[in-house]
Structures are given as structure tokens and as C-alpha cells.
Chain A
Amino acid sequence: MELAGASIHDDPAIRVWRLPFSFCSRHETANFHIRQIKKQLPLWFWIAFFLFVSEPAHAKSIWDFQEPVTPVARTSLAASVEFMRIIMGIYIAVFAVFAYSIFKHRKSSGAQPGTFTGPGSRRQWILAITPFLLLIYIDYIWMGIPAFHAISRMEDTRTAADMTVKVTASQWKWQYEYPDEGISFVSAMATSQGQIHGREAKGEHYLLEVDNPLILPTNKKVRILLISTDVIHSWWVPSFGVKRDAVPGYLREMWVNIEKPGIYRGQCAQLCGDGHSFMPIVVEAVAEPQFNEWVAQKKAQSSQAEAVAGKAWSREELMAKGDEVYKVVCSACHQADGKGLPGAFPALSGSSIVNGPMLDKEGHLFKDGHLDRVMNGKPGTAMQAFKNSLSDAEIAAVVTYERNSFGNRMGDMVQPAQVKALR
């Protein structure tokens, strides 16, 4: 099935395909996609084969989730596979009887219609009742009892938890915080707009890559706390077998115990607005020594950052840092060019808030001014209070950046020390 790139262009069957999909942009030719799909197609044939022909017991691979790496994921995968086999069995059994009847009891083959309207004899009653007893057995004993134990285990987030990670969801990024280690950072999608809109070739981990992955140690029970600052999101990594909503106003929790080092990818699973498709989760599971090393490194970085927050930053430093922060934190809504999305997200370019005062005469926050809006947000909108998630330096830098970019020429700047004093 593997076709070399050149031969696809010569294949007349493929050329026919090219026409209807002409809306694909230059780099995203239909051929590219067809090639991609051809690569994956054998899998589809296997699936069709297994679904319709093979005995479900052999079909393990098609019921599979992504590789399960936590005890919870293994349990739910096992339960899912078992349940799928049971329902396949029921389906085949029931529809075999249907098929038999359809082929046997035809008028054209001279069948005489019966006149019965229910089970008649005792034997028929037993035949009629048995499937339901079997069904109740499957529901409440065969699958029901293990399910109860699985849920109890899944919900037991506190017993013997080795560490805690707090996940704060907001449109459309995740903030990860290690309360015991005092580390916190924001994780946003790293896939470029060019790839999404077909101006660049798509990378291997298209839409499933982030700038700062969540680093977790293997073989530790990690309790994950979930909150949201705006709307309901849902944290889901298929390999971990857990999915839990992050609900504003509630603290939700779950746990993972990753047994195998590796990089695991997932996505937000609750419709949360325009950026719902672009809110990936990447977890890097590493052995404990490496994790400790990473923690030490992170701590050193943040104490360094605290030290530099005290110094007076130059304009260039603020602008460079601001550019960095803006791309990660702000551009999802206000767009890379600062023009916003009309009707949904206001433009920063030429905005009266960005081009207005930040501080009043006494040096306090000017209400609804630029700095106030960034630090405290605007209630009831997607604009959250960033003082909770960004450092002094980051707020100072991004505000300075916004006031001097996108055609805004305020010329002023904010120092991290000022932000610190205003908290």
C-alpha cells in the first residue's frame, strides 16, 4: 500500500481526486492529504475486517485506547475491551436470530404467518425471560461489580498521594502549579498559525504540542487539583484514563500514577469557545531523579527571576520579554497583530484603554486603565485577572510591550517593581 511520492502524481486515480479538493491551500495540496491517508488506510481495512468478519476476541487492537500508562487507564481499557466484546456478542447473537428469521420466514418461500402474540408455553416463557436475567447479570454483576471498584479507586485521590499539582484552566491554556515546590508556569499550544491555515507543512505533533509541558515523576501518585478561571474546561490525556472538568468556582480533583516515562498528549475535552481545538495538554513523565533535577533547575530560575524583578529593566529588555509573554498569553484572543476578533475580542491596536493612563496622580492603579485591566481582568468576560498567573516581570513587560506595539506609541514603560507594589 505504501506509495512513493512521485508515483502518486502519475496515478490517474489520484489525479481525479485532486479536483474536488481544490480549496486546499498551496502547501496543503490534496495530494499531501491523500498521501497521509493512504499511509493510514491499511489500518482502516483491518478495522473493517475485524468489525465485520473476525471474532472480536482477536480484535484487541481496534478497541484499544492510546497506550494506557496508569493503573486507572489499564483498568478502564480492560473494562472497555471486555464490555465491547460482550456487546458484540449480544449484537451478533440477537441479529443472528433476526437474520435467521429474515431469511427463513419469508412470504416468498411460502411461510405461513403465526398468530401468537406472546410467549405461549412454559418453555417459551423461560426462553423469553432468560435474556433479561442474563442482561441483569451482565449489568450488575459481571461488569457492575468491577466497575464499582474501579470508580472507588479512581475517585480515591487522597490516600497515599505523593505530591500535588494544581491545574488552572483558562481560555485557552493551562497553568500548572506545584504548590510544594513553589513552581508555576503557563502551558499553551506551540503549533503555529501557519500550520493551522496550511501555509506551512504540518509537524508530527500538529495541535498536540505545547511550549511548556507538565513534568511529572513516574511511579508517584500525583494528585491533580483542577480549577478554572473562566468557563468549564476538561483535562484529558487518553493514556492516563482520566478526564475531569475544570469548573469555575469548584475545586475538582483526580490522580495519576504514570508507570512509564514518556511524553503523553491530550486535549481539552469540553467545548470552551473558539479556541477549544487549540488547547493541548502535554505531559512529560520522567524518572524521579530527573524530576528532582528539573525542580531544582526551575527553582533556581525563579529565584533568579525574583532577583531581576527587583532591578530596573531597560526598555529593550521589557519589550523582548513582553513579546514573548504576549505570544503565549494574549495572542490567542487579541491575535498576533493586536487587532482582536471583531465582536468577540477587542483590538489592542488603537485601543483607548491601551492608549490611556495606567496610574493616577498618587501612583495607584487607574480604574479600568491598562494595568488595572491586565492585573485584575474584566469580570464576566474572557479577560481574566492575570496577577494570579503572571509574574511581576511578565506583567510589566507585556503591558510595556502592548503600549508600544501594534501602532500604539505611548513611549512609557512599567517596571516589575511597580507591579509588585501594586499587587
Chain B
Amino acid sequence: MARFIIRCGIFKGEDMTEATAAVAHDHPHAGIMRWLTTTNHKDLGILYMSFGGIMFFVGGLFIMAVRAELLYPGLQLLSPGMYNQLFTLHALIMVFGAIMPFATGLNNYLIPLMIGAPDMALPRVNNWGFWILPFAAVLLLIPFFLQFFGTGSGATGLGWMMHNTTLDIQSGIGIDFAIFTILLLGVSSLTGAINVVVTALNMRAPGMVLMKMPLFVWAWLITAFMLILAMPVFSAAATMLLTDRHFGTHFFDAANGGDPILLQHLIWFFGHPEVYIVLLPAWGLIPHILATFSRKPVYGYRAQVYALCAICFLSFIVWSHHMLTSGLPLAAEVYFMYATMAISVPTSVLVFCWLGAIWRGAMTFETPMLFALGFVAHFGMGALTGLVLPDVAVNAQHHNSYVLVAHFHYTFFGGGIFGMMAALYYWLPKFTGHMFDEKLGRLHFWLTVISFNITFIPQWFAGLDGMPRHVADYALRFSAMNFISSVGAFLLGLTQLLLVYIVVRCVRGGPKATGQVWEGAQGLEFTLPSPPPYHTFETPPEVK
């Protein structure tokens, strides 16, 4: 890692004085201070992505313990309280610690390269936005570790959306730590989002009109607007909860005239856009990868841009489909059902365009392409089951059952994580200057696909059979499904260690990557050498 870090920063020039000056200018600090104080979008991109990667494994470890407990009926390893903490931390870490930071890292590294800008518009804010994250993560985890030393009752164990209000009010310090974590994450996400909006709207190279902007940048621009609109609601809800807990307000406390459903509304008003905040970056990068390996131009560019905008809009008007069993009035249930079904239209526009992207191409199947196709196949399952869930009558069965768990893992893992892995493999040679081991990459893909499906297919059936989620222990009729699911989860966890090996090896060395990297790759980032020099596009390129 260290060698890679040094390498990607050094300016190799004939003129030594100039080179030395450039180095001095580039790196006012060496070692750790460089990373603490950097305002360079590539450094920050790497920091974000490394943080996301590390948290991916932390969140994964937590869920391994959960699946070990669920291997057999009965309580073997964990107390129910510890179980609740583990799955809650898994969810919070995976969503806010792994997928979102990784996607932010990609945007940091790639947006300036893709639009021909020298850096993000607000480099210092960028640095601040990143360095909030490790503190937020530590804050979230402190109470979890403190309980082993006899202090407090552990981390929050209320599920990632924490919307069982009175339970929130009853719980220990873990929830306070989670609230402050949410507030910090809110600041971090907002700085990142504002940075993307300002950069994408102001710093495009001459000639790159909005409708020529790469789809990944479009997707991130829309994501950023969603973050700016949704995140403050989450922070507000968390703050209201904080004042309920400590300052005697009663926003959500029914015993004192508050409304427990209000918190659900507030949190899902954020929570539903959040689903698309996680997915949109992946949707933005998939067309790049499909086009590259099909050796074709992007299919349906305009349709995809409009579809992404439509999804962004719809995501703000469907939140209550997460609360269809909480006793909404009939009119609201009908409205949220029909509004939710509307999302299927722009989503299928995207799927149609992905199909168009590979149709009559000249495809090759390198690892990023495999992950992109895997993304389409698995996300397709998650999306299609999402068509069934808003039907209120059917939802009465599926809501809070394992069907739901399987559904959102097909979208978050099958969609979000597969997309992030496709992106990682696609741009890794660009980041490091080395090709990764293609054979191992393919092995990683197939193992991931197989173990992912072994993990989550049984959960559909456990759910259809009536298994509620969030349970530490289950009735005997669910034991076969849970056993298979747990075995699959262990395999899935182990498989990801292969990813670490591949990435570390690629960072350390390997065959040299060309600037173009992939035969069919298009876009400004591929006009640069691999790895790109520390400063790029100081003179903006001309886009025709």
C-alpha cells in the first residue's frame, strides 16, 4: 500500500528542479500528515474507498456472528440483546460505512477525471467530509466494546431505521451514540453531496454540456440532490429523538401525547431515498462497464438520465410503503401502493438500456463485466420482487418477514455491492497502474455469485413460510432454510477475503496497465496514463 501511495504521487520529469518543486508543491507533508491534510481528490478518493472496504469487513464480521447464531434453532452463542446489536450494527455499517463511502470514493476519484476538472470544487470541505467518517464509525462502535468492560448496555439494537420509538426512548446509551453518529454522517454526506453538485455543475471541461456528461456523474449528481433533500430529515428525526430522550420533549412518546408513527414517517422519508442513494451510483457506472466490454457506445443515454431523474422524484413520494402494516388509512395505503408501482417503469427503462448496451455488441467477459452482468441478474430479482411487495394485501404477509430480508439483500448486495465490485475491478488498473489477476477475479466473481445465492434464496422460502425477521431464535420449521443460509453466508464471507488478496496484490504490482486499460474503454479518464499523475487536467481538455 505504502509503495503505491508514494508512487501515485511522484511526478517524474526530466527537469529535476521543476520535478522537485512539483513534488514539494504536491506534498507539503509526508507520511501520515499527507493523508490527514490532503485536499487532492485522488487521495481522498482512495481514503474513502479504503474506509469503505475496511467497514465492509467489519460489517461482514458482525453478520457472521449473527448467522452463526441462526445456524441452529435455540440460543447457542449470543444473548438476544447482543444479537439485536449485531444485526443493527451490520446494517448501519454496511449502508453508511461501506457502500456509501465507497461510492463517494469513486465519485471523488472519478468525477474530476470524467469531466476534465483539476479537482473537486471544494477540496478542503472534501477533506473535512472524509475525516468525519472514521470518528463517526468509532462513535458508533464505542458502546459496543464498552459493554465488555461492564459499562453501559451496549450499542444500539433497534434495527438500522431505529423506528420503534418508545423502545428508542427506553434504550441505553448505545442509541445516544448512534444519534450522534447519524448527525456526523449527515454532515459528512452533505459536504460530499454539495461538493458533487458544485463540481458537476461548474467544472465541466469546455464543450461538455450537461447532456454529454458521463452517466456515472449524472447518477451522482442526482444522488447528491437526494442526499441534500433527505439527509436533513434524518438528522432532524435523530435530534428530535435525542431531545425526547434527554430534554423532556415528547415528539414520539405516546404516553405524553406524542406520536410514535411520526418517527416512522420522518425516518422513512429519509429511508426510502436512501435506498436509491445506495443504488444510483451503481446504476450510473453499470452502463460504462457494459458499453466498454460490448465495445459499443452507451445505449439510451437520454432515457437513462430521465429515468434516474424520475426515480429520484418518485423516491420522495413513496416512503410509507415501508409502513403498510402500521395502520395507515385506506386512501393512503392505496396511494402508496400505486405510487410505488410507478417506480417499476423508470427502473425497467434502465434494465432495458442495459440490455440495449450489450445487444449486438462484441462482448468479452473480464471480471468487471462479469460483476456488471451479475449485478443486472441479481438486482433484477430484487427489483421484480419489489413489484410484488407494495400490493398491500400481499404485503400484510411479506412485511417484516424474511421475504423482505431477501428482497433488500438482492437489491443492496445484488445491486449495490455487485455494482461497487464491478467498479472496483473496472477502475482498479486505472487507480494502481497494474492489472489485477484476471483468473482470481473470475474465481471471486463465481464464488460470490454462488455463495450469495445459497445465502439468500432460502430466505425467500423461510419468509414465505412465515418467519419474521429480527429474531434471534426461530421455530423448528425454519431450521433447514436457516442452516443453508448460514452456510452460504460463511462461504460468502470467506470469499471476500479473496478480494482483499486480489486488491493488495494489484496495488503492490502486476502487469503494467495502459492508459486505455480496457480495449473498448471510453471517457476522459482513459485518456490519462495509469495511474494518473497527482494533478490532472490543470488545463481543461476540449470535449467535442
Decide whether A and B assemble into one complex: yes
B167 near A: Cβ within 8 Å?
A: yes
Q: For the complex, what is the distance from the CA of A139 to the CA of B344, rounded to whole Å?
A: 9
Q: Which chain A residue has the least Cβ–Cβ distance from B77?
A: A23
Q: Which chain B residue has the least Cβ–Cβ distance from A251?
A: B327
B360 near A: Cβ within 8 Å?
A: yes
Is A238's CB under 8 angstroms from B466's CB? yes
B309 near A: Cβ within 8 Å?
A: no
Given known contacts A111-B361, A243-B325, is B355 in contact with A91 (CB within 8 Å)?
Answer: no
Closest chain B CB from A116 CB (angstroms): 7
Hey, which chain A residues are within 8 Å of B254, CB to CB? Answer: 247-250
Given known contacts A112-B362, A150-B392, is B76 in contact with A28 (CB within 8 Å)?
Answer: yes
Is B326's CB under 8 angstroms from A117's CB? no
Hey, which chain B residues are within 8 Å of A404, CB to CB? Answer: none
Partner of B362, one of A105, A154, A236, A249: A105
Q: Which stretch (A2-10, A140-148, A409-417) binds chain B?
A: A140-148
List B479-496 residues whose CB lies under 8 Å from chain A: 479-481, 483-484
B385 near A: Cβ within 8 Å?
A: yes
B72 near A: Cβ within 8 Å?
A: yes
Hey, which chain B residues are within 8 Å of A208, CB to CB? Answer: 475
Q: For the complex, what is the distance from the CA of A97 to the CA of B358, rounded to whole Å?
A: 10
Partner of B359, one of A63, A114, A196, A272: A114
Q: Which stretch (A75-83, A158-166, A174-182, A215-223) binds chain B?
A: A75-83
Partner of B381, one of A23, A65, A91, A195: A91
Partner of A132, one of B84, B302, B345: B345
Q: For the complex, what is the distance from the CA of A91 to the CA of B384, rounded to whole Å?
A: 8
Given known contacts A139-B341, A151-B337, is B396 in contact with A242 (CB within 8 Å)?
Answer: yes
Q: For the complex, what is the distance from the CA of A198 to the CA of B74, rounded to whole Å?
A: 6
Q: Is the interface of B mostly helix, strand, loop or mixed?
A: helix
Hey, which chain B residues are within 8 Å of A140, CB to CB? Answer: 338, 341
Is A117's CB under 8 angstroms from B297's CB? yes
Q: For the complex, what is the distance from the CA of A24 to the CA of B68, rounded to whole Å?
A: 11
Closest chain B CB from A17 CB (angstroms): 11
A382 near B: Cβ within 8 Å?
A: yes
Is B393's CB under 8 angstroms from A79's CB? yes
List A59-93 residues whose CB lies under 8 Å from chain B: 62-66, 72, 75-77, 79-80, 83-84, 87, 90-91
A47 near B: Cβ within 8 Å?
A: yes
Is B172's CB under 8 angstroms from A343's CB? yes
Closest chain B CB from A65 CB (angstroms): 6
Hey, which chain B residues are within 8 Å of A147, CB to CB? Answer: 337, 391-394
Q: For the complex, what is the distance from the CA of A101 to the CA of B385, rounded to whole Å?
A: 24
List B369-415 residues whose CB lies under 8 Å from chain A: 373, 376-377, 380-381, 384-385, 387-388, 391-394, 396-401
Hey, which chain A residues are within 8 Å of B341, CB to CB? Answer: 139-140, 144
Hey, which chain A residues are within 8 Å of B377, CB to CB? Answer: 95, 98
Partner of A245, one of B327, B364, B472: B327
Is B468's CB under 8 angstroms from A101's CB? no
Hey, which chain A residues are within 8 Å of B394, CB to CB? Answer: 76, 79-80, 83, 147
Q: For the complex, what is the distance from the CA of A196 to the CA of B385, rounded to whole Å?
A: 34
Q: Which chain B residue has the least Cβ–Cβ distance from A72?
A: B393
Hey, which chain A residues are within 8 Å of B296, CB to CB? Answer: 113-116
Is A197's CB under 8 angstroms from B397's CB? no
A94 near B: Cβ within 8 Å?
A: yes
Q: For the complex, what is the distance from the CA of A36 to the CA of B166, rounded to whole Å?
A: 39
Hey, which chain B residues are within 8 Å of A305, CB to CB? Answer: none
Is B355's CB under 8 angstroms from A277's CB? no
Hey, which chain B residues are within 8 Å of A136, CB to CB? Answer: 345
List B285-326 residues whose CB lies under 8 Å from chain A: 294-303, 325-326
Hey, which chain A residues are within 8 Å of B348, CB to CB? Answer: 131-132, 135
A37 near B: Cβ within 8 Å?
A: yes
Q: Can you list 16 pairs linking A and B with CB atoms under 8 Å apart?
A: A33-B73, A72-B393, A91-B380, A95-B377, A101-B359, A101-B361, A140-B341, A151-B337, A198-B76, A202-B476, A231-B164, A236-B468, A245-B326, A265-B475, A268-B468, A343-B154
**Closest 10 A/B residue pairs (Cβ):** A249-B254, A238-B466, A343-B153, A40-B480, A150-B393, A248-B254, A277-B471, A114-B360, A87-B384, A252-B327
Binding site for A on B (CB under 8 A): 71-77, 79-81, 84, 147, 152-154, 158-159, 164-167, 169-170, 172, 253-255, 258-261, 294-303, 325-327, 330, 333-334, 337-338, 341-342, 344-345, 348-349, 351-352, 355-356, 358-364, 373, 376-377, 380-381, 384-385, 387-388, 391-394, 396-401, 457-458, 461, 464-466, 468-476, 479-481, 483-484, 520
